[in-house]
Amino acid sequence: MAKNNSYDEFDDIDQQQDNAPSKDVLKEYINVLRQNLIPILIILSVSIIYTLIYVNTATNIYRSVTSVKLESPQGNILTATFGPEGNNATNEKYIMVQIAVMKSYDIRDKVAQQLIDSFNVGNRKYNLLLNKALLPDTVALPQDVLRRELGSFVQIAAVKGLDAISITAEGPIFEELQYITKTYADVYILYNIELSRQDITNVKKFIVDEREKKFKELNDAEASIEEFQKRTGYISLSSQSSAIVNNLSLYESNIAANQIEMKVRESNIAELQKQFDKMDPQMYDYINAQINQSYLASIQSQVAQLEVQKEIELLNIKDELVRAKTAESFDRKLETLRGKLKEQVEILKSGVNADTPLEKKSMSDAIFNQKLAMNDLQLKNRAYTDMINKTQGN
């Protein structure tokens, strides 16, 4: 009789047949290892020895990073003192420009010269700066070669999230890397200082030239008056006429001095406007419109006229008691008007700053102050001009 096998029995038979070859393969692997044990041990030993040799003889690569903090761009020296320092974030374009300056031919050449000049000072070890063609002598690379090499092994980049630039160098000698990155940073800082000095010199020269120009105009005017007196025969002037001439000279001198200050203010305002236009082109026009409101302009005009009137009144008063009382009377009126002016300015500033981000408030305050000072000078010059015309009978 035929024997009937169930499905489970067939599965057990198949599994036993599958396991049998696995045991045979394992035995074969073990036999292969036994037969080739010596070659395997040799290969393993060589690998371990090579690894140990590499670990002990491989050159370590170090990295030195020096960071240079950037101040907010101030434009020119005339605007360098306005607003709290650091309130205006350095923009990305300015940072990119400074990176380009640091990578420029001129800066790299100055750095190369500085590195060569201080080479071998302090018994340093060298690799990147060493002229390997002249070994065993310790000689620096030529300046033109080192200038080119600086562009490759020194990396300059912006520090993410900060107003700073990082100067990075990699090489086998950490002391040398520190020396390179620090020298690079020092050269860049000295370069910026030199530019600032030139800016200050130019501003001083501008102011001195303007002052000399106005004094020359004043001297020419006095010479013309003297020439007129000699030509017409009116050489001897009465005390009243002398006072008139002196007053005219004072008015013209004050106008000239105010014009010099106005040019400085104009330069300040132009620079502030450029900076503001980068952030909000419409804000400057809005502030300008607020300052020129009729009520504020009227108060400022009264203050300027009263200050000029006070100066003129006190000019010809010789009695000290009368002079003091007159000054006190003018000061009371000016105090009232200045209080109203200050109150109105604060209201306008509050209105502007209410919709102005924090980083723009210091700049908007600076614009307010510069525009108000500019208007005050213009109003005073207008008052002096009116007095000159009135004195001359125009």
Q: What is the pLDDT of residues 254-278, one digit of tens each?
A: 788 878 888 888 887 777 777 777 6
Claim to verify: residue 321 and residue 188 sit in the same structural domain: no
Mean pLDDT across the chain: 75
Sign (positive or negative) of CA dihedral 21, 23, 26, 31: negative
The crossing angle, in degrees rounded to 10, of helices 281-291 and 358-392 is 40
Same domain, 385 and 309: yes
DSSP 270-306: HHHHHHHHHH-HHHHHHHHHHHT-HHHHHHHHHHHHH
Same domain, 183 and 255: no
What pLDDT shows up at residue 135?
65
In a domain, 332, yes or no: yes
Flag whether 133 is in a domain.
yes
Residues 71 and 128 in one domain: yes
Query: Domain boundary residue among 163, 194, 225?
Result: 194
Residue 220 lies in a domain: no
pTM score, two decimals? 0.43
Which of 97-111, 204-218, 305-319, 332-346 has the highest average model confidence (pLDDT)? 97-111
243 and 145 co-located in one domain: no
Please tell me whether residues 188 and 273 are part of one structural domain: no
Query: How far is residue 262 from each of residues 107, 170, 215, 216, measured CA to CA in Å?
Result: 38, 53, 16, 19
* SS3 label, residue 155: strand
**Residue 73 pLDDT class (50, 70, 90 cuts):** low
Could you give the number of structural domains in the chain? 2
- 133 with 279, same domain: the answer is no
Are residue 183 and residue 243 in the same domain, yes or no? no
Q: pLDDT at position 149, please?
A: 87
Instruction: Please check the confidence at residue 235 and state whether its pLDDT lies above 80.
Output: no
- 205 is a domain residue: no
**177 and 262, same domain (yes or no):** no
Does residue 84 sit in the same domain as residue 155?
Answer: yes
Q: Is residue 203 part of a domain?
A: no
Q: Which range marks the domain in which residue 121 is found?
A: 62-194
Last residue within a domain, chosen from 174, 194, 214: 194
Please tell me whether residues 101 and 181 are part of one structural domain: yes
> Does the residue 363 lie in any domain?
yes
Whether residue 243 sits in one domain with residue 167: no
Nearest Cα to Cα of residue 308 among 393, 376, 358:
376
Torsion of CA 292, 293, 295, 298, to 10 degrees: 20
**Residue 77 domain flag:** yes
